[in-house]
Structure 1
Amino acid sequence: MKTYDYIILGAGASGLMLAYRMANDTFFKDKSILIIDKSKDKGNDRTWCFWETKDGEWDEIVTKSWDKIFFGSTDFTKSIPITPYRYKMIRSENYYNKLWGVLKTKPNITFKEELIVSFKEVEGKVQVTTSKENYIGLKLFNSIPNPKTYQSQKKYPLIHQHFVGWFIAVEDELFDDSKATFMDFSVPQNGNTRFMYVLPLDKNNALFEYTLFSKNLLEISEYEHAIVDYLNNNNIKEYKVLEVEKGNIPMTSFKFSELNSKHILNIGTAGGWTKASTGYTFKNTTKKTKDVVAFLKQKDDFSKFYKASKFWFYDLIFLDVLANYNAEGSALFSSMFKKAKIKTIFKFLDEESSLIEDLKIILSVPSKRFIQAFFKRLF
């Protein structure tokens, strides 16, 4: 049985990006890399968004970008210029095509379209069992989440960011495509944190996504009725639904790093790369995959990859508040966007802020709930 230097489980955002970085680095040119996933042609199964201050490595596949965002609620409503940032959107089909275009040219990279059954460490190596074969690797990167790991524990709160989105087209030029609706809390909250997220691609096409931060999911019809009501309330009566997307992203401060071992590293959502307080993953994956490549050139014990950060604790406190007082999410975000500068908010969410900037964010949100959550965790 052939032994691969690296096995990557999952050909989604994080798995493919890691393979892409390795493919573009001469350090790995003689390393055998195996990618396994149940499907290769995933199409437009995802939409990823992120913000950055300059031209980025993914600009050639960016579908649309905006230099203004809209925030709406009963407490605060404003169109906000985000210069020097731009808010960028990528459709996954463009992303997959770009990365596979490079990976397929590398003779040291192999792809197997098989269902992954299990994996485990065996005598200093890793054995992967699929629906067809067993494979051996020296190192394994796993991007397939196992929800039981964080759903079965009670120490850390778990909130779901769940959504249904409609890509719709209209005949008249109804959409202002100069800005993205970041959060619109004008929708009924019904005891949760609920908002509409709108990404206009041009004046005739837009993505309307009904999103919740809550513990429990809804019936599909509830998301759909909320989108219809929102469209009606904005005088959008005649439209065609071109595509539908849905998702459920875990928001938790569960210590995914404790699942790593010397030879197994969990990556992407499975590795806790999703920003716990927002559900954003793509930007963090861009950073983390670079970190993994740098790590591989210096060390080989994956249990030492994770580094503790102050932002983990910030996210933990935020999720404690959101989990226990889910109906107050609108007021929380409204206060932040009203009192803090957007540049400071983005730096904070990107985990690039200074202590002074952290303090500005902390002082911008209602203090009572956070003080309660802080002392509860402290003691």
Structure 2
Amino acid sequence: MWQRGRVDASPVDVDLALLGGGGAAALVLAALDRHDVAGLRIAVVDPVHKRGQDRTWAFWGTPGGEFDPVLSASWSRVDVVTPAGRRVLPLAPLRYAMLRSAPVYDRAAAAERRIGAVRIGAPAGALHDDGHRVSVHDPEGRVLLRAGWVLDSRPRPPQRPGRTNWLQHFRGWWLAADRPVFDPDRAVLMDFRTPQPARGVSFGYVLPVSDRYALVEYTEFSPAVLADAAYDAALRGYTGRLGLDLDTLRVREVEHGVIPMTDGPFVTRPSPRVVRLGTAGGATRPSTGFTFSAMLRQADQIARALAAGGPPVPAPAYPRRHRWLDAVALRALDRGHVDGVEFFTRLFDRNPPERVLRFLDGVTTPVEELAVMRSTPWLPMTGAVLGDTVDRLRDRLRRAATGVPGAGSRAAGRAGS
């Protein structure tokens, strides 16, 4: 029986190794268990065994998913708020859902036990892939294990900087009250009444778990992060805008994060038997920062492939045309072709909510995408398209002149950003 535990100095051989034990790896482990993948020797390599509440995922989808029993909350309608007013978006047949990390990590730990996975409590370093097996080394160069396939979810930057390089950065307070102050039936998806940065767009966010407990967040899409004091000041201002008295509330937890929003290419297949997951594998949508739904889709694809005896290679997280649309949108926002508040307001004002949410999640059809494009400011977006086309041509000519391979070449692997 392949026992879970820490290995000694002798490298072990496994069929599948997961590097990193965060959300992407946890979803894969749960999916392997759900699809009854058996007979594989599996290892998880990470110096930290993730437990508890260290992050919150918000996503939309249809009811009846794997994690429905452990959702913290879900909403059938959400609000988008601008200085001009409040728009209530009915989401049926979709719903917006909140999932905290603890139940995801708990399911992954239970899956590890049931499938008999080995956990190696050490950081992974370099990988050496000979096309048949992958040697996983520690940072000092010692071989930790050899695997038939490696799923690598460790954070890493894109292969090269994008033409636009923004960040989604945020801080949230979990606020507890002694009396009802929140509406648990309605989440605030975007509230643009926050002071807008000189370059970028900001908004508030409210996810109520009950009438006395909610996550209230300040988010920016912009090129650089803020100082800690600036996030706290923004949150104090936003809670005041909501009519909340911080003197009567308690901050139970603080969440902070930084997510890349870039058209730089992430290489999902750096070598024949190494597959990258999570943000490093292109699961983050460049124009929104949403990641969870793509990670969940890819985890399911990996488990289904292994259950059928195939290679654990998921489809690209988003279609190529969506990556191009993201690049154009980021360029338009970054160069000031469009106002960020106006851009998102028009999306929700001129499209059914389901179409917008499906578009932001990367699952719309070309016909739906044309309708979304028609709802954006036409002339400014046309200018962004032309500018992006010119820059792509220049990049291609420069790489050809210097002999640098492109993101889609054999040397670089398959790009998935």
Is the shorter-chain TM-score for this pair beyond 0.5, marking a shared fold? yes
Which residue does the alignment assign to 1:219? 227
AA in 2 matched with 1:110: V
Q: Does 1:293 align with 2:306?
A: no
How many angstroms does 1:111 deviate by? Answer: 1.1
Which residue does the alignment assign to 2:273? 263
Instruction: Sort the Cα spacing of 1:129 and 1:251 in 2 relative to 1 into closer, same or farther, 3 A.
Output: same
Where in structure 2 are the equivalents of 1:231-242 lying within 5 Å?
231-237=239-245, 238-242=248-252
Sequence identity percentage: 27
Counterpart-to-counterpart distance in 1, 2:239 and 2:219 = 15
How many angstroms does 1:339 deviate by? Answer: 1.1
Q: Deviations over 1:296-351 (max 9, x none)?
A: 5465495x954853212111211222222298211110111111110111222232
**Contact 2:338-2:377 at 8 Å conserved across structures:** no
Counterpart-to-counterpart distance in 1, 2:312 and 2:62 = 34
Q: Does 1:158 align with 2:165?
A: yes
* TM-score, L = length of structure 1: 0.92
Q: Does 1:356 align with 2:367?
A: yes
- Give SS of 2:299's match: helix
Which residue does the alignment assign to 2:384? 373
Instruction: Sort the Cα spacing of 1:70 and 1:123 in 2 relative to 1 into closer, same or farther, 3 A.
Output: closer
Residue in structure 2 matching 1:128, options 136, 139, 142: 136
**Contact 1:162-1:248 at 8 Å conserved across structures:** yes
Which residue does the alignment assign to 1:281? 291
Instruction: Sort the Cα spacing of 1:51 and 1:77 in 2 relative to 1 into closer, same or farther, 3 A.
Output: same
Q: Deviations over 1:221-261 (max 9, x none)?
A: 10111111111233211211000010001122332236532
Which residue does the alignment assign to 2:210? 202
**Contact 2:78-2:187 at 8 Å conserved across structures:** yes
Which residue does the alignment assign to 1:173? 180
- Give SS of 2:115's match: coil
Counterpart-to-counterpart distance in 2, 1:318 and 1:352 = 17
**Contact 2:332-2:338 at 8 Å conserved across structures:** no
AA in 1 matched with 2:62: T
**Contact 1:46-1:245 at 8 Å conserved across structures:** yes
Structure 2 unaligned spans of 5+: 1-10, 391-417
Counterpart-to-counterpart distance in 2, 1:97 and 1:314 = 37
Residue in structure 1 matching 2:57, options 48, 54, 68: 48
**Contact 1:295-1:305 at 8 Å conserved across structures:** no
Which residue does the alignment assign to 1:38? 47
Structure 1 unaligned spans of 5+: none
**Contact 1:190-1:327 at 8 Å conserved across structures:** no
Which residue does the alignment assign to 2:259? 249
**Contact 2:14-2:147 at 8 Å conserved across structures:** yes
Aligned positions, number: 373
Cα-Cα RMSD:
2.2
Which residue does the alignment assign to 1:86? 95
Q: Does 1:334 align with 2:349?
A: no
Counterpart-to-counterpart distance in 2, 1:341 and 1:377 = 28
Q: Deviations over 1:163-193 (max 9, x none)?
A: 0110011122111111111000101002121
Residue in structure 1 matching 2:325, options 289, 301, 314: 314
* TM-score, L = length of structure 2: 0.84
Counterpart-to-counterpart distance in 2, 1:294 and 1:145 = 25
**Contact 1:165-1:210 at 8 Å conserved across structures:** yes
